[in-house]
Structure 1
Amino acid sequence: MTEHIPVARLFRSRAAGSEKVAFIELFFDLVFVFAVTQLSHYVIEHLTLIGVFEGLLMLMAVWWVWIYTTWVTNWMNPEVGPVRWMLIMLMLVGLVLSTSIPDAFGDRSLQFALAYILMQVGRTVFVIVSFRRVGDPEGALNLARIAIWFIYSAPFWIAGAILGGDLQLALWAAALGIELFAPAVRYWVPLIRATPIESWQVLGGHMAERAGLFIILALGESIIVTGTLFSRNEITPSSVLALLAAFVGTILFWLLYFSHGAEHGHRFISSSQQTGRIARLTYTYLHMLLVGGVVLVAVGDDLVLAHPDDPLDTTTAAIVVAAAALYLLGNLLFKRSIGRPWLRSHLMGMAALTALFLAWPAIPGITPLAITWIVNGVVALIVVIDEYVWPVNDDDDDDEPAQEAAHAVEN
């Protein structure tokens, strides 16, 4: 007979202190450092509206692989041999996925599609088998629903890769749309219906920490991109100021997320009775906006470092301003979803960035370097306002806005 693996060994304990992120999870993230770098370079090299859309679509796919794996390691014990080897195999296939990104809308489209499908379906099947081995048929059924949705989207990925051209983008967008829609309807499948929300309970501290680590990973990739370009360029006052602007922007982005939001999110989800609902909205969906903003920042920093003193063009202005605006929007929605009020500083910041983008053609002699520092000034002002002018008490989790947000998220 096959040995019956105890739940306590194959799955995480739900006892206090079991939320720690394992070293193998950090090791697993290395592949995604490479993937995010590849995505930044892809957008830089395909700097058209279609190219940016392609890059963001692939970024969402990479995020989708990563966040589903994070859900799995929230349930399962990554220190156990079978789970550890599952992560290692995902790393290998993830490396294949990452290496295909530069030509994913060309000769390596099928490589990208097959690697993506294998990671999503293969990991899900592994968890189904694991649930069955520990005698949890309901858990296995829940994961079977997820597998069905991935299998349903797979033909769109494959057909897009085979057909190529404009159809590829449309079919891949459809495939990703199917997968993004699935959690919203709790993986409803005819006859076996939807997954009960109670089965989505997670270790909130682990989920919050993993999401924060991915933000750090993305911010670190921005530093890698700018540092690499600076090392290859001639050192001039303008290039030094451009490097400093990129570094200051990264610090400001870090402060926006980690000064109050990350820790408050950790406490909010950990104390909630509906951790699955919060994890779905806050850490599965809304963090895509944050990661997208960070990747666009890396692209903007590259453009500014390459030509800091050239006349500002529409593309550079759009990337630099949109990156900060998207990141602000992500922070605003993230903080609202974990019990904060609608932060006036973030709303004012997005309004100021919109006005800047509309007004820059009328500013004489404006350069990429200048607009980067202006954007940094707007973000710095938001950080100062949040810290000193309109601070929100992180220790007060019982205020009315927090209760309203909690009710909205959990119902």
Structure 2
Amino acid sequence: MPATGPRPSGPTVPSAPRNPNAGDRATGPTPADRHETDFPGWTSCQTGPVTEDRPTTGGDRRKTGRHKPAREYLRDAVGSLLGKRPVREGTRTATEELFFDLVFVFAFVQIGALIISDYTFQGLLRGLLVLALLWWSWGAFAWLTNNLQASFGVMRFGLFVVTGITFVMALSTLVAFVDRPGGVYGPLVFPTCYFLVRSLHLALYAYAVSAKNLARHILVPAVPMVASTALLFCAALVPHRVIADRRQVALAVTLLWLVAVFVDYLGSFTLPVWEIGIFSARHWCERYGLILIVALGENIISIGTSSADVSISWQLLFAVMLAMTVTGALLWTYFDVVALVGEQALGRADPKTRFALARDAYSYLHLPMVAGILLPALGIRELVKNVGRTEGHPDDPLSAIGLFGLYGGIILFLLANVAYQLRIARTIRTIIWTRGAAALVLVALVPVARRISATGALGVLAAVSFVLIVVEVVVADGQRRALREEGLAARMEI
């Protein structure tokens, strides 16, 4: 029976359909909520609605658009330049973030050059300390760009400025510990750039959060950053003025850097600021997957550049193919299933659990994975130089540093990968035990690798990597296929 009440004067707006999968996802502040709370002053670039100008009597009744006044155009332009746009679930990595990541290709190459310039275990430790600070700088902006989109407003300009400063910081890596004659004092450049990058990060976060959370989210995290930067400046200025022996100066500088990294990492771990939040699991996991690809790219660059000035031989080509096999195995180990499962686990978690998982499994446990990818380049460089020599003994075994980089790096990557899986999701237990077993096998093979040629040591490593992949495919084939299909389907739904 038709309704007898009056008909609504305006058109009926149908209600938005409910997402059937909404109950499976984490509950937390929606992007619309964050416009009014966490992101006050957000300005939309959309123009106002088009109005209708109807004549009162007769004439043409066609709709005509009203032109906006100039001040509205100016307001929209200012909003586009100074506004901010929050990240939503399903947001992808912006071009500006990829541009920022390109600097770390150069930074990773510089770390390898720093270690080669002091090819000792102290030089190796210094390279890892530089990596830790560069990683913390990159990770800070991974958190920030998961709250505000990097391709809009102030964030866009801020990230461009940070990219330039980070490049200078990477450029100063080779003089971060020991100055070179001429120019500015090198050991001061790195800590200065580090302080500027971290300060700009906090300033942009202050722009992102509401005023009531300013002290909790900005002032508290600034404490470990300022303390670690002060230690870096102390390492650059104090030891060589109060200690006469050069070896003791080098040791004091290294220890001060070690304490600075410890203070920054431990202080950030204990901060009670989980409300910062991860608003897009896909964007977060994509960022960390891309930085791993950057590290793998540095490995490939090392293979190519180290063979640029040596004679091409069949032995060299064989060694290069073995090195590419190991690099490809690292790529497979992370991206085949583990990355997809991690993204699903992060997407299903509640906001507080999501923060803890992102901090532990990504900010902390991805650092040893990146280090494990970069370290084998030391052994590969040494191997390529050996097999490409026209004189001498191309079948010499690897040095202690080269062997540690080649085998120790892969072992570190596998153990960090296992720890990551145990922290984020224990869904694929069959893959966890195979990777732990592969790490133990490599530890047992280290004495053998010390006695054979460098090519033989790399061949053994490539064989273990290949067997690991085959065993995982055979043992966990059904579960692996189901997890991959589920993970890829979830990505298509976003």
Given the two structures, how large is their TM-score scaled by the length of structure 1? 0.87
Cα shift readout 1:275-321 (whole Å, capped 9, x = no counterpart): 11110001100000110011101222111111133321333222211
Structure of greater Rg:
2
Q: Which amino acid aligns with 1:150?
A: M
Aligned to 2:445: 356
**Is residue 2:284 matched to residue 1:212?**
no
Aligned to 2:319: 242
**Is residue 2:458 matched to residue 1:372?**
yes
Aligned-partner Cα distance in 2 for 1:10–1:392: 45
Aligned to 2:277: 200
**Is residue 2:152 matched to residue 1:77?**
no
Q: Would the alpha carbon gap of residues 100 and 263 (structure 1) be closer, same or farther in structure 2, given more than 3 Å must change?
A: same
Q: Which amino acid aligns with 1:207?
A: W
Aligned-partner Cα distance in 1 for 2:400–2:170: 30
Aligned to 2:78: none
Q: Would the alpha carbon gap of residues 47 and 391 (structure 1) be closer, same or farther in structure 2, given more than 3 Å must change?
A: farther
**Is residue 2:409 matched to residue 1:331?**
no
SS of equivalent to 1:21:
coil
Aligned-partner Cα distance in 2 for 1:388–1:118: 50
Tell me, yes or no, if the aligned pair for 2:378 and 2:401 is still in contact at 8 Å: no
Alignment of 1:2-401 (within 5 A): 5-6=41-42, 9-14=83-88, 16-17=89-90, 19-107=91-179, 108-131=186-209, 135-138=210-213, 141-164=216-239, 165=249, 166-186=251-271, 194-195=272-273, 197-273=274-350, 274-308=353-387, 309-312=394-397, 313-340=399-426, 341=429, 343-361=432-450, 363=451, 366-391=452-477, 393-394=479-480, 395=482
Cα shift readout 1:304-350 (whole Å, capped 9, x = no counterpart): 11113332133322221111111111211122222133712112111
Aligned-partner Cα distance in 2 for 1:236–1:270: 50
Aligned-partner Cα distance in 1 for 2:153–2:130: 31
Cα shift readout 1:100-140 (whole Å, capped 9, x = no counterpart): 11121111111111111111122212321343xxx442155
Segments of 5+ residues of structure 2 without an aligned counterpart are 1-39, 45-82, 180-185, 240-248, 388-393, 485-494
- Worse overlay, 40-49 or 281-290: 40-49
Q: Would the alpha carbon gap of residues 7 and 143 (structure 1) be closer, same or farther in structure 2, given more than 3 Å must change?
A: farther
Q: Cα offset for 1:144?
A: 2.1
Q: Cα offset for 1:178?
A: 0.8
Q: Which amino acid aligns with 2:383?
A: V
Normalized per residue, the structure richer in helix is 1
- Worse overlay, 112-121 or 303-312: 303-312
Aligned-partner Cα distance in 2 for 1:211–1:337: 16
Aligned-partner Cα distance in 2 for 1:68–1:380: 35
Q: Would the alpha carbon gap of residues 64 and 75 (structure 1) be closer, same or farther in structure 2, given more than 3 Å must change?
A: same
Aligned-partner Cα distance in 1 for 2:223–2:238: 24
Cα shift readout 1:8-33 (whole Å, capped 9, x = no counterpart): 7514243x43x211111001111111
Q: Which amino acid aligns with 1:280?
A: R
Kindly tell me the number of residue pairs found equivalent between the two proteins: 378
Aligned-partner Cα distance in 2 for 1:140–1:209: 30
Given the two structures, how large is their TM-score scaled by the length of structure 2? 0.73
Aligned-partner Cα distance in 1 for 2:211–2:473: 48
Q: Cα offset for 1:215?
A: 0.3
Q: Which amino acid aligns with 1:317?
A: L
Q: Would the alpha carbon gap of residues 130 and 347 (structure 1) be closer, same or farther in structure 2, given more than 3 Å must change?
A: closer
Tell me, yes or no, if the aligned pair for 1:10 and 1:76 is still in contact at 8 Å: yes
Q: Which amino acid aligns with 1:272?
A: A
Q: Cα offset for 1:396?
A: 5.9
Tell me, yes or no, if the aligned pair for 1:38 and 1:98 is still in contact at 8 Å: yes
Aligned-partner Cα distance in 2 for 1:228–1:154: 34
Q: Cα offset for 1:358?
A: 2.6
Aligned-partner Cα distance in 1 for 2:42–2:275: 22
Tell me, yes or no, if the aligned pair for 1:385 and 1:391 is still in contact at 8 Å: no
Q: Would the alpha carbon gap of residues 59 and 392 (structure 1) be closer, same or farther in structure 2, given more than 3 Å must change?
A: farther
Q: Would the alpha carbon gap of residues 109 and 371 (structure 1) be closer, same or farther in structure 2, given more than 3 Å must change?
A: same
Q: Would the alpha carbon gap of residues 58 and 393 (structure 1) be closer, same or farther in structure 2, given more than 3 Å must change?
A: same
Identity, % of aligned positions: 25
Aligned-partner Cα distance in 1 for 2:193–2:229: 11
Cα shift readout 1:206-255 (whole Å, capped 9, x = no counterpart): 11110000000000111111112222211011111121111111111100
- Worse overlay, 100-109 or 312-321: 312-321
SS of equivalent to 1:75:
coil
Aligned-partner Cα distance in 1 for 2:400–2:100: 38
